[in-house]
Amino acid sequence: MDTMTAIATRRTIRKYTDQPVADELVRQLLNAGFVAPSAFDERPWHFVVVDDRATLQALAEKMESCEMLQTAALAILICGDPALEQFENYWVQDCSACAQNILLAAHANGLGGCWIAMERIPPREAAVREALAVPEHIAPFALLSLGYPDESLPGEDRYDASRVHHGQW
């Protein structure tokens, strides 16, 4: 799948089959995150790969609107490490690029995914800290549920000319 097709057809998937995801594919997804753009090449991220069914179920139960974890083959928690950055809060932008890279790589490889926000959502942060033993100095940013899709959503053209400004506002 070419890049523009992947971007245009990627959709949030919340229902997954029970087909497992091969370890090599998980490594490819992580590598997509590792090669994301990063301010000053600081790469202030850490990842926790969660494929234990009981842990995914527990997270689904502890976090509101996270039922998709019940059928996900795995989830990847992306965390920021503020100690690795030179300029305060750039890690948020870096981790955003990282998450998007992983979701696009997942889609290009036949997987579906859902970005579950963590950053500045205290109940979710607390749930992943407890379940995944995330240290206090590390900031949970996003949990990506991943798996082979058990739903099909068409791509959408969302271009909105009214929000495009040329030269100045």
pLDDT in tens, 75-92: 999 999 999 998 889 999
Q: How far apart are CA 97 and CA 100, in angstroms?
A: 5
pLDDT-derived band at 157, boundaries 50, 70, 90: very high
Q: What is the mean pLDDT of residues 105-121?
A: 96
pLDDT-derived band at 145, boundaries 50, 70, 90: very high
Give residue 52's pLDDT: 97
- Sketch out the chain's domains with CATH numbers: 3-152 (3.40.109.10)
Least Cα distance to 132 among 74, 93, 73 occurs for 74
Q: What is the mean pLDDT of residues 106-134?
A: 97
Task: Spell out the residues 6+ positions from residue 127 whose beta carbon is closer than 8 angstroms to its own.
Answer: 59, 62, 63
pLDDT-derived band at 1, boundaries 50, 70, 90: confident
20-41 pLDDT, tens digit per residue, is 999 999 999 999 999 999 999 9
CA distances from 114 to 101, 161, 167 (A): 13, 27, 35
